[in-house]
A and B are shown apart, each in its own frame.
Chain A
């Protein structure tokens, strides 16, 4: 895929227009972290009765994310990104370790955590026959919002994402994937989450929608008091959007730093080109394409 987004990675410096917003934002390091993942492990048992085996989906992961930060989890398919997000979303229980969202323990204080988080998954999870409005009304009520206020809010969010009000009353299944994903993002933002979990929000989108979504995430970063965890296997996307990136490989965070620092590091230590590709290669031992192939095979077995 060749889009504008690929440009920054051949240049060590970021385009001037983007740099200020990142550096100007105050990311306070003191106080309660927005998200604390502390030595978390999650294992699954997969396969039928005969070929039963254990998969370490998330392996002793520790992450500390500051309020207002966009933290990227970059990894190939099957590396454990979604599992990590689900653990934080209370959709999976932890095997070991501890997770805190703004100081609330996700096990002891589950409801408090649920109120401040929201998640957008790869597949926009909607009632297909219901309209965006009906889906959003459901969301609003679940989160204790007034549906009227929610409606107005949804209209304004979706307008910014380029979806007009007229389209919001027809069944959602009639919308393109890109549009559905935008509605999913609007639904998540509607509840004003202070921790937004975006699990591959742009995977499978057409280039246009992908760019829209990415631009919107940048806008959010600059205008909202939201902390974002973004998973992706798009190197350029991680580079463009994230304050810090953790590379996950076979369930482990193998390296973590700002995109600039990561690129500089591989250039300095290994004499490689300062690109995210080099970074990914260095820390996972594979190119992203190799790994994708590997994991599709692995998934077919079970």
Chain B
């Protein structure tokens, strides 16, 4: 119990630190936010241009929820590469904090940050387009948000090990993985339009189920029960990915400490 309290307290170190970093890099944060808003608008305008409200909603939902998932994902996946870049990786790894506490802190901040980020995008889109949300089922959408967050956190942690193991290429691999997720998860289109082999891949991306579920909820007003086909894969991925991610992270850390990958100079 005392141990848990201790670790919980320590995990706040990461929340506070990341908040301070956001504050100090606020210029970049604003720039990225503007980029995210512009990107979401640009894509959604395609729907508006076609005069097709269903297409518009499909694109808006894709833009907003992908924004959320990718912010959460990259925040977590980049914990190691960020610290490597700052030069603090060894300092953090030397501290008497368990890795799950570190991940918990990073995750809490990532979710909070992603939420705020996404609300801004959403508000701008809502002001820009007249969205018809009269038949929307918000509860179901929220359920998918939560489930999606959990599994994305899991993949984020698993991806975070790449920069730990590959000093030079790890951060680039993380970026490529995020791009692949964007492509295969049906963010702006139905996965049915993808070539067969990509459709197979799309089954392994939690984003596929989140976006499908959220669209069904917000456009067609479907309830969670009728979307169980999307719920159980997410549930399963969430349950599997987080422990698997933490385990893999521990292994990767051990590997890095054996081969001298944390830091070499100095």
Contacts and interface: CB of A to CB of B under 8 A. Distances in A.
Interface of A: 44-45, 82-83, 86, 89-93, 111, 114-115, 117-119, 121-123, 125-130, 134, 137-139, 141-144, 171, 199-200
Contacts of B86: 125-128
Interface stretch (B67-75, B112-120, B253-261): B253-261
15 contacts: A82-B266, A83-B260, A86-B90, A90-B94, A92-B262, A115-B96, A118-B94, A125-B86, A125-B91, A127-B21, A127-B86, A129-B24, A134-B17, A141-B12, A143-B95
B90 to A, nearest CB: 5
A111 to B, nearest CB: 5
Given A129-B24, A130-B21, A143-B96, A44 B88 contact: no
Contact of A129 (B9, B21, B98): B21
Interface string B185-200: 0000000000000000
B254 A142 contact: no
A138 B94 contact: no
Contact of B90 (A83, A111, A125, A137): A125
B93 interface: yes
Nearest to A44: B260
Given A92-B260, A137-B17, 9 more contacts: A91-B262, A115-B96, A130-B20, A138-B20, A139-B91, A141-B9, A141-B10, A142-B13, A142-B95
A121 B89 CA distance: 12
Contacts of A123: 87, 265-266
Contacts of A118: 94
Contacts of B10: 141-142, 144
Contacts of B92: 142
Interface string B10-48: 101100110011001100000000000000000000000
A122 B87 CA distance: 11
A141 B94 contact: no
B94 A129 contact: no
B97 interface: yes
Contacts of B96: 111, 114-115, 142-144
Contacts of B95: 114, 139, 142-143
Nearest to B260: A44
Nearest to B93: A91
Contact of B24 (A82, A130, A200): A130
Contacts of B88: 125-127
A197 B93 CA distance: 15
A1 to B, nearest CB: 21
B123 to A, nearest CB: 28
Contact of A134 (B20, B98, B262): B20
Contacts of A126: 86-88
B251 interface: no
| Chain B CB within 10 Å, residue with most, of A91, A117, A143 | A91
A120 B206 CA distance: 42
B266 A122 contact: yes
A300 B104 CA distance: 40
A134 B91 CA distance: 15
A138 B97 contact: no
B6 interface: yes
A144 B10 CA distance: 6
Contacts of A122: 266
B254 A119 contact: no
Contacts of A128: 86
Contacts of B97: 142
Nearest to A124: B87
| Chain A CB within 10 Å, residue with most, of B9, B86, B91, B94 | B91
A111 B21 CA distance: 27
B260 A127 contact: no
A91 B257 contact: yes
Contacts of B20: 127, 130, 134, 137-138
Interface string B211-245: 00000000000000000000000000000000000
Nearest to B13: A141
Contacts of A142: 10, 13, 92, 95-97
A41 B91 CA distance: 23
Nearest to A115: B96
A130 B92 CA distance: 15
B33 to A, nearest CB: 18
B24 A199 contact: no
A44 B16 contact: no
| Chain B CB within 10 Å, residue with most, of A123, A137, A144 | A144
Contacts of A134: 17, 20, 24
Given A82-B266, A127-B86, A91 B94 contact: yes
A129 B87 CA distance: 12
Interface string B118-152: 00000000000000000000000000000000000
Contacts of A119: 90, 94
Contacts of B16: 137-138, 141
